[in-house]
Amino acid sequence: ERTRVAIIGGGPAGLLLALILHRAGIDSVVLERGSRDDVLSRMGADMLEKATTDILRTAGVGGRLDREGLVHDGFDIAWRGEVLHIPLRDLTGKTVTIYGETELTHDLYDALDEAGVPIIHGAEDVRPQDIATDAPFVTFHTVDGEHSLECDYVAGCDGFHGVCRQTIPADLLRTFERVYPFGWLGILTRTPPIQDELIYAHHARGFALCSLRSPQLSRYCLQCDAGDDVANWPDERFFDELEARLPVAVAAHLKRGPSIEKSIAPLRSFVAEPMGHGRLFLAGDAAHIVPPAGAKGLNLAVSDVHYLSRALIAHYRDKDDQLLKTYSETALARVWKAERFSWWFTSMIHMFGEEGTFSQRIQEAEFDYLAGSQAAQTALAENYVGLPY
Ligand code: RFL
């Protein structure tokens, strides 16, 4: 078996890469460990930057996104009872789109099926081999037996816990990490959202987020202890706590409903450098993680795929390897800026248990400055809608 690009991981990064390469006439095979239902049952992201939606449209998956995605002109920050509106469109001329990652993954599968791009599910023990040579290959097994897939390049789109990053020799790989001392307890409910736009709430009891997937699907998150258990959070307790963390006037609009998903996610910043070795290139969560405040995870996966697909297209179409050589550097420059923003926003909006300390006073001053300065709001807004490619 042989293909040009072996793509490991069929999450949003791997699927989008396969689709963009197909549109450029470059064949690939996607190797995914889980079943299609496994991939589609993951909760994931909900906010897409303008540049992300542009790339999705160009790849031919903009139809349902344009019909069902909700365009947001701004969002709110609640700070101990006050609400500050950040008018994204007025400050930057750009908007963001609310569209669930599950929906996007669905659209990508549909487009790939229609295009006839092979996606192998249930691929176990996937191993990229000989990546530092001109003849790499990937071994794996499925219910049908052992396989070996020869290729020109391997794209490591296998998420944070994948195998590809580990294939880079340890003495060449540098990792940078910050683990935050809390997690996010998130639920999804089939109820109309508390308001049209998102609210990020800073409160002495901890951070709260009111987000949404559609006019009938709400997503709420609470800062919780990193070691907490969802079993401690029956829906009633979750909603009581959420109400307590929101300004009274906002909480009055909260519609409670049974949770259809409930999970706790740890918060982490992580970057691996370089984002490739030999004929292996990493994209998405395989190379970096951001804490979810700021909603950059999925958008970064898309920007990596944009840079990587452009470089592969230049290789095959123009016989030019310059973009492949600089892929890691180019992608990391954008990644680090999103890491900075996600870290800053996370640091500002959460409670760090530092009541009455220097850090807490600085946090208060940070919000006061933001509330009183259009320049500060513009800096927040231009990062939130996504920095230029
Ligand atoms: P994914 O989505 O993790 O996909 C990786 C795929 O690789 C497969 N895989 C393997 N396949 C073969 N062999 C192996 N050895 C393999 N190991 C793994 C996995 O089964 C999987 O299908 O990575 P990708 O494509 O880079 O996409 C990244 C985004 O999904 C991610 O950044 C976001 O979902 C992160 N994220 C959020 N991002 C946002 O921008 N806004 C959010 O609000 C937001 N909320 C979230 C999130 C991620 C969450 N999880 C799943 C930790 C909320 C949650 C709960």
- Give the model confidence (pLDDT) of 87-109 as tens digits: 999 999 999 999 999 999 999 99
Report the alpha-carbon angle 51-163-5, nearest 5: 60
Question: What does the alpha-carbon distance between residue 116 and residue 134 come to, in Å, rounded to a whole number?
Answer: 27
Find the Cα–Cα–Cα–Cα dihedral 22, 24, 26, 32, rounded to 10°. -30
* Start-end of H helices in 139-267: 164-167, 235-245, 248-251
Using pLDDT thresholds of 50, 70 and 90, give the confidence band for residue 160: very high
Best of 101, 167, 260, 341 for a ligand 1 pocket test (most atoms within 8 Å of beta carbon): 101
99 classed as catalytic: no
Report pLDDT digits (tens) over 301-331: 999 999 999 999 999 999 999 999 999 999 9
CA of 30 to the centre of ligand 1 (A): 15
**Active-site residue flag, 292:** yes
164 lines ligand 1 (CB under 6 A): no
Q: What is the pLDDT of residue 272?
A: 98
Q: Rounded CA gap, 357 and 361, in Å?
A: 6
The two tokens of residue 337 are 């800026």
Residue whose entry in the numeric block shows the structure tokens 């982490």:
268
The helix-helix angle for 358-372 and 327-349 (nearest 10°) equals 100
Q: Is any atom of ligand 1 closer than 6 Å to the C-beta of 292?
A: yes
Q: Is the dihedral of CA 38, 43, 44, 45 positive or negative?
A: positive
Distance (Å) from CA 159 to ligand 1 centroid:
5
Closest-CA residue, ligand 1 atom 21, reads: 11
Asked if pLDDT for residue 14 goes beyond 80, the answer is: yes
- Is residue 200 among the annotated active site residues? yes
Tell me which residue has tokens 């069902």: 68
Looking at this predicted complex, what is its ipTM? Answer: 0.96
Give residue 43's pLDDT.
79
In this predicted structure, what is the pLDDT of residue 42?
Answer: 84
pTM score: 0.97
CB atoms within 10 A of CB 49: 25
Active-site residue, 85 included: no
Structure tokens, 137: 């290959």
Task: Give the chain's domains with CATH numbers.
Answer: 5-69+97-177+268-345 (3.50.50.60), 180-267+354-384 (3.30.9.10)
145: which DSSP letter? E
Q: What spacing in Å lies between the alpha carbon of 367 and ligand 1's midpoint?
A: 31
C-alpha 124/C-alpha 121 separation (Å) is 9
Read off the amino acid at residue 40. Answer: L
Cα 163 to ligand 1 centroid, rounded to whole Å = 14
- Amino acid 307: pLDDT: 98
| Contact assessment for residue 347 and residue 339, using Cβ atoms and an 8 Å cutoff | no
- Please report the pLDDT score of residue 317 as a whole number: 97
Which ligand 1 atom minimizes the distance to the CA of 164?
15
